[in-house]
Structure 1
Amino acid sequence: MRLSNFRYTLPKTRIADHLESPRDACKLMVLNRRKKEIEHKVFTDIVSYFKKGDLLVVNNSRVFPAKIFGQKEKTDAKIEVFLLRELNKEAGLWDVLVDPARKVRVGNKIYFEDDVVAEVVDNTTSRGRTIRFLNPDIDVFQMVEKIGHVPLPPYFTRKPKETDRTDYQTVYASQTGAVVAPMAGLHFTIPLLQQLQKIGVKILPLTLHPSLSTFNAIEVEDVSKHKMDSEYFNIPYQTAMEINETKVNKSGRVFVVGTTTCRALEANATVDGKIKFGQGWTDKFIYPPYNFKVTDALITNFQQPETTLMMVVSAFAEHRLLMEAYKTALKNNYRFLAYGDAMLIV
């Protein structure tokens, strides 16, 4: 497939800048792959597509307020530090992005609130740095909950609001480490999940911490040559066993919430479709054509053009049907991207 195959025009006015309230009141487009049909629903209608014995697999990754602001030593220049991932907890080492990068060099110290100090120890990319927090025994995740800002996607033109701390988070988020929300899960509410459980649907968690590579531009026309960044995942034993038992007994379908959950499962599936439990790092890249081993139905959002997220969905939905769905969504005033409307592909 070529990068240009995933190109469409997304007007800025169609990018949602707030989450629907309540979350599950958003629109839901349903794509039937076998019938090549498109239906228009609301998200609460999704319950009617489940049956007893089905599984709902969710990504419980929790977004932390990863943007912190400090002052450079001596000059007092204001520096934005975007915490990407913890490299070594004991040593206080983190991969970060800094802005303005030209002012931040190896050896510089940056001072934050509450007498927190970090030293730049390495350059990684043009904006990338490795920093070491110098405060002994500092819990960085606890620190940023107090002074950090929500890392909203770069396509948002507004500044983060206090409500984004809860809105840009799934209701089942529990494992801290993401700098990007697993956005397909933003539509679920506790009452809706309880409804699913009442009809006999099992809700199974896994963790994959989405990274900023979600928004990286693909720079090759032949998409097969694109390389994903590695992202941390953890598939619990119980989740893997429930999926494997359901697949072997053919007792239900596996509904997967979002492209992150889908990639974690497919990256850890054997040839015969069984899931391996455990944790690690994956750079799994799914694009058409792809033979899905685990995913029976996919819940997703409407994605940015020419992104790896859109490619995963295209591989599952069938490319022509997906492009028709996007065209239909634009005609019918669907809201796009993280805070936008949802799509169920069956």
Structure 2
Amino acid sequence: MTDLDFTAFDDVPKTDVPYKAKDLTSDQEVRWCPGCGDYVILATMRSFLPELGLRRENLMFVSGIGCSSRFPYYLDAYGIHSIHGRAPAIATGLAVTRPDLSVWVVTGDGDALSIGGNHLIHALRRNVNITILLFNNRIYGLTKGQYSPTSEVGKVTKSTPMGSVDHPFNTLSLALGAEATFAARALDSDRKGLTEVLRAAAQHRGAAFVEILQDCPIFNDGSFDVLRKDNAEQRLIRLTHGEPIRFGNDAEFCVVRDGFGLAVAQTADVAATDIVVHDAYTDDPEYAYALSRLSDQDLQHVVTGVYRSVARQSYDDGVRAQLREAAERKPLGPDSLQDLLDGRETWTVGPGR
């Protein structure tokens, strides 16, 4: 068996007694605003985590700063409420040094994509064995309603009273551009779809990126309402591996190839063989990227589900392999530190130099 045959938590101790949601619920009062989408995500996570069968002492949740970053308080597992934007860096250290942990990052669109943007893309590029949950409400909630890197053009906020002139990130395009080996999106109110995405992400060995669209009822109320109403099926493109990509109340829309990209078409206007069959496991990164471009800031179309899930050696597996090789070449002894200090990069300067 090679490293690429492992799941994310093959090295993580399993529990002898199955957990229930209440076993992973802490004694802390949940302090989010009424109606916040974070409640649904928390409830889904508490219900889903017992499926993994992992000891809660080996679950580690690392968050940055923001409303979403209170998440670790509400789970009866280990957690770190860390530094603004730096959760992926701390999680990287944990993943490398503690293979017996299942490491999760909980972050928001401001925390991850503004001050933490550099840490996020490098964690994805390196393929660190962590699961990153990005809660996207398209606003800064904790600091009371400034526009964020995912706010739409023209968004009127406290920091953009005449409307934002920034062009927002397409989060999945960003993740895939950083060569994420796992990238997915879910909607907070879709418990079934969210659970399926979380299950797939948790099992992935490497960096798993999951964007969760969720509402901020105080500072950006109704931001994703069009994805919850009666005509939502006209907008939501749900991905299922191995299935043709059709959507709409009666599957009247579909996705087809269009030059180097993808486009939406009327199902009745195209041959069945022209409809794209979703392949989440293809090594072709352009396909997943093209899927991400179907989603737009106006929410005319939003693609949910697993975009990409491919195998590549994780950063932490590679680091530990090098450490084992180094130890085999020269076992550690009492003079090991001095040997390093006197290594090939040192020299002696003699008299007269």
Do Structure 1 and Structure 2 share a fold, with TM-score over 0.5? no
Normalized per residue, the structure richer in helix is: 2
Could you say which structure has the larger radius of gyration?
Answer: 2
Q: Which has the higher contact order (CA 8 A, sep 6+)?
A: 1
Structure with more of its chain in strand, by fraction: 1
Could you state the TM-score of these two structures normalised by the residue count of structure 2? 0.26
